[in-house]
Amino acid sequence: MASGYKYLEPQALARVKNLQMVARGVVEGAITGLHASPNKGFSVEFAEHREYVSGDDPRHLDFKMLAKTERLYVKQYEEETNMRVQIVLDTSASMGYKYSAGITKYEYGCYLTAILAYMMTRQQDAVGLTTFDTEIRLDIPARSSPRHFHEMMERLEAAKPAKETGVAATLHLLANRFKKRCLIVLISDLYDNQEEIMRALHHFTHCRNEVIVFNVFDKAELEFPFEDTVAFHDLETKERILIEPDAIRNTYVDEVRKFTENYQKLCRESGIDYVLTDTTVPYDYMLTRYVAKRFMSNG
């Protein structure tokens, strides 16, 4: 399942293989209670089929599916699904920015999406994917089968960053859709009204969902390394402005620091995990560091 996907790097998978997914480090602490049941079972509402794997109870094989497909499937029920996760990826034009880093913020988000989805699927957690700019562009509900993972990766590879940002409005819309508790993983540069975004995140937590926010920047957006007079083009509005970097660097860096620190503070007060990263930080290393931090805070 892991081979042949643009955003799923075997080297990164090898480096995080001992994690057994964020869920095993985080779910047992921050996300305890999201499981439909602490034990897998087959006594409640039917959810979906999944391919048989060694160790599954043969009593739950679906022989009708075997006759139709000549492949072994078991019936998966609501209680068997460990966790529901919806990855919400910002695909607005600002995410397409890069300065000197090898990848854009959007590509960084795609790699992070892929590795999270892969590791969740491997442990039979249900994972879905939503992409958005000012509108929802892709909305795949959470499932746990390898076939579902394949569809997500294909759709992810076909997506491109475009248009303006509508983070807060999109999150409010999504929060109204989820009828069952789940984990929301938001990957975005969060370039929208901060107060409105926090209201939208509270909408999720009010409905008893758990939220992790990965705030992704290009390192140049944090440090403002420009020297000579430079023309900046807004990727979303196409506005163009000439700037003398030396005249505004200190003010700019200070404002960005306040921006991220305020998110960190507000999220902490709301019980939301906030992870600040930039595209020069390997996403698998960032993920491993985050899990280690959660282990320590829960221990």
Q: Is residue 5 part of a domain?
A: no
Residues 161 and 16 in one domain: yes
Q: What is the pLDDT of residue 36?
A: 40
CATH code of 167's domain: 3.40.50.410
Q: Is residue 4 part of a domain?
A: no
Cα 260 to chain centroid, rounded:
18
**Which residues, 6 or more positions from 158, have their beta carbon under 8 angstroms from its beta carbon?**
none
Strands 273-278 and 210-217: parallel
Residues 160 and 93 in one domain: yes
Domain region containing 55: 46-78
Q: Is residue 2 part of a domain?
A: no
Residues 73 and 129 in one domain: no
Residues 192 and 294 in one domain: yes
Kindly give the confidence (pLDDT) of every residue in the chain, 299 residues in length, as a single tens digit, with 9 standing for 90 and above.
Answer: 555 889 988 888 777 765 544 444 444 444 443 344 333 443 445 556 667 766 566 777 777 777 778 778 777 654 444 678 999 999 999 999 999 878 999 999 999 999 999 888 887 788 999 999 999 999 999 998 888 999 999 999 999 998 898 999 999 999 888 767 889 999 999 999 999 999 999 999 988 888 999 999 999 999 999 988 888 878 788 888 898 989 999 999 999 999 999 999 999 999 999 999 999 999 988 988 887 777 566 55
187: left (phi over 0), alpha (psi -120 to 50) or beta: beta
Q: What is the pLDDT of residue 69?
A: 82
> Could you tell me if 204 and 211 are in contact, meaning their C-beta atoms sit under 8 angstroms apart?
yes
**Of the residues 78, 101, 131, the one at which a domain ends:** 78
Residues 69 and 131 in one domain: no
Q: Which two tokens stand for residue 299?
A: 């221990």
Q: What is the pLDDT of residue 176?
A: 84
Residues 156 and 214 in one domain: yes
What are the two backbone dihedrals, phi and then psi, of residue 225, each rounded to the nearest 5 degrees? -85, 5
Q: What is the pLDDT of residue 82?
A: 65
Residues 115 and 51 in one domain: no
Say how many domains are in the chain. 2
Residues 103 and 183 in one domain: yes
Residues 223 and 258 in one domain: yes
Residues 71 and 177 in one domain: no
Residues 67 and 195 in one domain: no
**Which residues, 6 or more positions from 52, have their beta carbon under 8 angstroms from its beta carbon?**
61, 72, 73, 74
- Rounded distance between C-alpha atoms, residue 33 and residue 46, angstroms: 21
